[in-house]
Structure 1
Amino acid sequence: MPTYRQCLKQAQKQMQNAGLSEQSATLLMLELANMDSQNLYMDYEKEMPSELEESFNEAFPRLLSGEPLQHILGFEWFYGYRFKVNEDVLIPRPETEELVANILAAYDEHFADKENVMVCDIGTGSGAIAISLKKEEPKLNVMATDISERALAVAGENAKINEAQVAFCCGDMVEPLIERQLHFDILISNPPYIPNDEELEHSVKDFEPHVALFGGDDGLKFYRIIFERSKLILNEKSMLAFEIGYNQKEALMAEAAKYFPDSKIEVLKDMNGKNRMLFIYNHCD
């Protein structure tokens, strides 16, 4: 049997030759072995158990092909919670955790005293945002929409796994909420915002759902739809929160001002100093 070191060194060399991240091989080993980095280092020169070697050798070719590690494992961690992911949903990204944190901070500032705060997550995908918010602030009444029934099936499973009470409905953006004549205090969306002609990495383009990635010629198509239609479902005092592309600040602030001329509009930076979150406050002063 090979040692952990021998197996990993060979895998890392293959990843390097393929132009892929060597760290992914280590992360795959850690997850399959149910180890942390310190334990792996302590066992580095020990022989791998035969079952682990078999599992690694079965999974590694998929990693070497460029398939996302999260699809191979079948899950991703987000905001401390475990979420099932597959080809039907976008893999939750770390920067979206910052959106959740800022939404919770804004809730505390503007809505904490309200008894029944209604929240909707538009284009929920895996349900990561909606479920994390419900787990962190159980008082919130959370509803989430998606146009994909397959995505909603994954989101529903994630709600059960994480024991979060979130209502899901299938439909195009805010339309199912309009049809139900519902009204909300907080609207959230991480919509598709990549321009149609932008080149993507192989692991994203070939393994993640395009319906969750591309946002029209300039990437702003779905923001405009939400800006225009959201007034039919928002309470007078309300807040909208979006994830945005790092280079979309000026264009989106201009678009938002057309639809919300009297509202406070701000863009927040992520921990890397990039403009990644758009917040709109209606009568929140």
Structure 2
Amino acid sequence: MASNRELYFELKKLVPMKVNDSAIKLILLDINGFASFSELVKHFDEQAKDLDRYQEIISRVMAGVPIQYALGHAPFLELDLIVTPDVLIPRPETEELVLFAEKIINKEYLGQREIKIADIGTGSGAIAIFLNKRIFKSTVFASDISSKVLAVAKENAIKNDSKITFYEGNMLIPFLQEKIKLDVIISNPPYIEDETTIDDNVFLNEPHLALLAKPASQYYEEIFKNVHAVMKKVILLFFEIGENMEGALTLLIKKYLPLADYEFHKDIYGKTRFLYIRNDTYEQE
């Protein structure tokens, strides 16, 4: 039987181009059933618990499967989420988006009243679940066009003890049909227009439905042009965006939300990746 230390250094030699140090640690956490890195450190020189699981994961990784799909789950802030090839692997940029949104939402609404939040194009459910757990007095909805995607998101809501109302449908259509009025919309929609710019491993393994849009602003425009029909007196909108979309999105905001306040924000790498809009032009209840 091999120890966790031995497996760690074996992985460093075996698949240096397939997994980084963080991925190696995720593998060791998984095969031992540990919940935290501190647990792994504590038992680093002890025998690994499930070598069959280890071999299964490594064979998938060596075949080119992304580590998160090989494991079947991925971390997202304090959450652990089920991931399958039907959903995008959660990204650090999306973690930045929800932390920013949490701060603004709490500043605007904290303790005032029950607010309604919608995650459009929910994927794994990461955004909806995180906000449901962190925003006091919130009702959270999540929608996606794919029933397979929603099945994963629903599993994640159960796994993370979150009460989310899910709808199948494109963009805001379910909310228009159900006549739901919202305080907050948050979305990380597809926005890659040129598939040649996508990393080969991502393009081969992750769902194109969640990546590609023509034009890149397609799904943002769908939300902008319908937002008045689903908003309360004030609505906050948060988006993850492509780093070169500021110009195109500014034009759409001026077209559909001409009196709204809006801000573009950079990620930790200095790239413009987030859009925040506050619109209170239309008083619709």
Q: Fold-level match, TM-score > 0.5? A: yes
Q: What SS class does the counterpart of residue 20 from structure 1 fall into?
A: coil
- 8 Å contact 1:130–1:143 — kept in the other structure? yes
Question: 3-state SS of the aligned residue for 1:198?
Answer: helix
Q: Describe the superposition over 1:124-180 as per-residue Cα deviations: whole angstroms up to 9, x where unpaired.
A: 111111111010024111111100011111111111111111100101111111011
Shift of 1:97: 1.4
* TM-score under structure 2 length normalisation: 0.88
User: In the alignment, which of 245, 248, 258 is matched to residue 242 of structure 2?
Assistant: 245
CA contact (8 A) 1:123 1:144 kept: yes
Aligned AA for 1:214? L
Counterpart for residue 144 of structure 2: 146
Pick aligned residue for 2:216 from 219, 223, 226: 219
The amino acid of 1:21's aligned partner reads: V
Distance 2:64 2:8 in 1: 17
Aligned ranges for residues 68-217 of structure 1 at < 5 Å?
Answer: 68-112=66-110, 114-216=112-214
Counterpart Cα distance in 2 of 1:43 and 1:81: 23
1:29 aligned partner, one-letter code: L
Match among 21, 39, 57 for residue 59 of structure 1? 57
Correspondence 1:33 to 2:37: no
Offset, 1:234? 1.3
Deviations 1:207-247 (A, max 9, x none): 2111111122x421111111112221112311111011122
Give the CA deviation at 1:26. Answer: 4.2
Asked if 1:233 is matched to 2:243, the reply is no
Is the Cα–Cα contact under 8 Å of residues 187 and 239 in structure 1 kept in the other structure? Answer: yes
- CA deviation profile, 1:52-111 (whole Å, cap 9, x unmatched): 333212210211222121112221121311211111111111221111111111112222
Does the 8 Å CA contact 1:66/1:202 hold for their aligned counterparts? no
- 5+ residue gaps in structure 2? none
1:184–1:41: structure 2 CA closer, same or farther, 3 Å change rule?
closer
* Cα pair distance change 1:54/1:163, threshold 3 Å: closer
Q: Secondary structure at the match of 1:126?
A: coil
- What percentage of residue pairs aligned between the two structures are identical? 34
How much has 1:201 moved relative to structure 2? 2.3
Larger displacement relative to structure 2 (60-69 or 23-32): 23-32
Q: Distance in 1 between matches of 2:160 and 2:255?
A: 39
**Residue type of the alignment partner of 1:78:** F
Amino acid at match of 2:241: I
- What one-letter code is carried by the residue in structure 1 that aligns with 2:198? L
Cross-structure match for 1:257: 254
Q: Distance in 2 between matches of 1:43 and 1:163?
A: 29
Preserved contact between residue 25 and residue 60 of structure 1 (Cα < 8 Å): no
3-state DSSP of counterpart to 1:60: helix
After superposition, the Cα gap between the structure-2 partners of 1:28 and 1:202, relative to the gap in structure 1 and judged at 3 Å, is farther
Classify 1:235/1:55 alpha carbon distance in 2 versus 1 (closer, same or farther; 3 Å). same
Question: What RMSD in Å do the two structures reach over aligned CA positions?
Answer: 2.3
Q: CA deviation at 1:2?
A: 4.6
Distance 2:157 2:41 in 1: 35
Tell me, what secondary structure is at the counterpart of 2:119? strand
TM-score of the superposition, structure 1-length normalised? 0.88
Any idea what SS the aligned residue of 1:124 has?
A: coil
1:22 is displaced (CA, Å) by: 3.8
